[in-house]
Amino acid sequence: MEVFRSKGEQSSWSAREASSGSSIGFVPTMGALHAGHLSLVDRARRENGKVVCSIFVNPLQFNKTEDLETYPRTLERDLALLKEAGCDAVFCPSTQEMYPEKMSKRYDFGELDQVMEGSHRPGHFNGVAIVVNLLLEIVRPHRAYFGLKDYQQLRIVRRMAEMEGHSTEIIACETVREADGLAMSSRNVRLSKDQRREASTIYKALVRARQLYPHKDPAAIKQEAISLINASPRLEVEYFEIVDAITLQPLERSSEGSPAIACTAVYAGEVRLIDNLSLNA
Does 40 sit near ligand AMP (CB under 6 A)? Answer: yes
Determine the Cα angle at 162 with ends 157 and 164, to 5°.
Answer: 90
Report long-range pairs for 108-112 (Cβ below 8 Å, ≥24 apart): 109/156, 109/159, 109/160, 111/247, 111/248, 111/249, 112/152, 112/155, 112/156, 112/159, 112/247, 112/248
Please, which residue, 181 or 214, has the CB nearer to ligand AMP?
A: 181
Residue 37 known to be catalytic: yes
Map residue 217 onto helix, strand or coil: coil
Q: How far is CA 107 from the centre of its chain?
A: 18
- Going by C-alpha positions, the residue among 181, 152, 146, 198 that lies closest to residue 39 is 146
Please, which residue, 124 or 222, has the CB nearer to ligand AMP?
A: 124
Question: Distances from the Cα of 159 to the Cαs of 36, 94, 109, in angstroms?
Answer: 23, 27, 7
Does 147 sit near ligand AMP (CB under 6 A)? Answer: yes
CB of 39 to ligand AMP, least distance (A): 6
Instruction: State the Cα–Cα distance between residues 260 and 123, nearest whole angstrom.
Output: 25
Q: Do residues 164 and 63 touch, judged by C-beta distance below 8 A?
A: no
Amino acid (1-letter code) at residue 265: A
Does 134 sit near ligand AMP (CB under 6 A)? Answer: no
Our CA dihedral for 234, 66, 147, 116, rounded to 10 degrees, sits at 70
Q: Residues 37, 120, 124, 166: which is the catalytic one? A: 37
Map residue 255 onto helix, strand or coil: coil
CB of 242 to ligand AMP, least distance (A): 21
Please, which residue, 37 or 222, has the CB nearer to ligand AMP?
A: 37
Site map 153..192 versus ligand AMP, x via CB under 6 A? --------------------x-xx------xxxx------
Please pick, from the candidates 7, 124, 149, 166, the single residue that binds ligand AMP as defined by CB under 6 A: 149
Please pick, from the candidates 4, 13, 24, 37, the single residue that binds ligand AMP as defined by CB under 6 A: 37
Site map 82..111 versus ligand AMP, x via CB under 6 A? ------------------------------
The continuous run of DSSP H or E covering 205 comes out as: helix 200-212
Please pick, from the candidates 25, 36, 93, 127, the single residue that binds ligand AMP as defined by CB under 6 A: 36
Please pick, from the candidates 10, 29, 54, 264, the single residue that binds ligand AMP as defined by CB under 6 A: 29
Instruction: State the Cα–Cα distance between residues 174 and 185, nearest whole angstrom.
Output: 13
CB of 176 to ligand AMP, least distance (A): 4
CB of 55 to ligand AMP, least distance (A): 8
Please, which residue, 75 or 219, has the CB nearer to ligand AMP?
A: 75
Determine the Cα angle at 170 with ends 168 and 174, to 5°.
Answer: 155
CB of 181 to ligand AMP, least distance (A): 11
- Residues contributing to the site for ligand AMP (CB under 6 A): 29-30, 36-37, 39-40, 146-147, 149-150, 173, 175-176, 183-186
Catalytic residue set? 37
